[in-house]
Amino acid sequence: MTVITTERLILRDWTDEAADLARIYDIYSRADVTRWLNVVGLPMSDPSQAAERLRFWQERHAGDQGRYGTWAIEVRETGVVAGTALLKPLPGRDESRLTDDIEVGWHLHPDSWGHGYATEAARALIVREFATGTTEIYAVVSPGNEPSMAVCRRLGMAHVGRRADWYGGEVLETFVLAAPAA
């Protein structure tokens, strides 16, 4: 299902089709992508893990009615999936509990770096989320991940320092964007 379209991108649900599962594996088996993600089971070491990751995303967002999710970023012109965009409540210090803080994020395949896809996808999700009445959106970035911090800045997000409020207390560079005044 398509979630958002932009000038160059389609944000859509990941599917269990072979091409999507292969791309999930290709993205999340790469150390140059996963080194910035403190996620158990990454990098993937077996293609079957792509289906497990997809099921995890589907279960995590099952009750969100499409408002929140972990979506494929497809390039309209080529059909190539550039990576993943996400919008979701941040998990707290106790990761089993979600906070009221909303996170936007992105994980792109290296062959899609440097094209502005992360910025374009995140901007579309931010606009959509602000339209629901959300007043602030966060991005959290592993220290040292300069390319992702540059995306945050291009989105107009303010750096508010390193915080350990989410993801089990992991210390992360934190950026925030306030909704535009009505």
pLDDT digit string, tens, across residues 131-170: 999 999 999 999 999 999 999 999 999 999 999 999 999 9
Three-state SS letters, 101-141: EEEEEEEECHHHCCCCHHHHHHHHHHHHHHCCCCCEEEEEE
Q: Which residues of 52-69 are buried (b: 16+ CB within 10 A; e: fewer)?
A: ebbeebeebbeeeeeebb
Query: What is the C-alpha to C-alpha distance for residues 52 and 30, in angstroms, rounded to an integer?
Result: 17
* pLDDT one-digit tens code per residue, 110-139: 999 999 999 999 999 999 999 999 999 999
Question: What stretches of 18-105 show up as alpha helix (H) in DSSP?
Answer: 18-28, 31-34, 48-60
What Å distances lie between residue 35 and 63, 67, 98, 145, CA to CA?
Answer: 30, 28, 24, 9
* pLDDT one-digit tens code per residue, 63-95: 998 999 999 999 999 999 999 999 999 999 998
- Residue 135 CB neighbour total at 10 angstroms: 8
Phi, psi of 18 (to 5 degrees): -55, -40
Query: What is the C-alpha to C-alpha distance for residues 152 and 159, in angstroms, rounded to an integer?
Result: 8
Give domain limits for the chain.
2-178
**Which residue(s) pair with 5 in the sheet?**
10
Q: Which amino acid is at 171?
A: V
The structure tokens listed for 57 are 């995303």
Which of 49, 135, 120, 51 minimizes the C-alpha distance to 83? 120
pLDDT band at 47 (very low <50, low <70, confident <90, very high): very high
pTM reported for the whole predicted model: 0.96
The CATH number assigned to the domain with range 2-178 reads 3.40.630.30
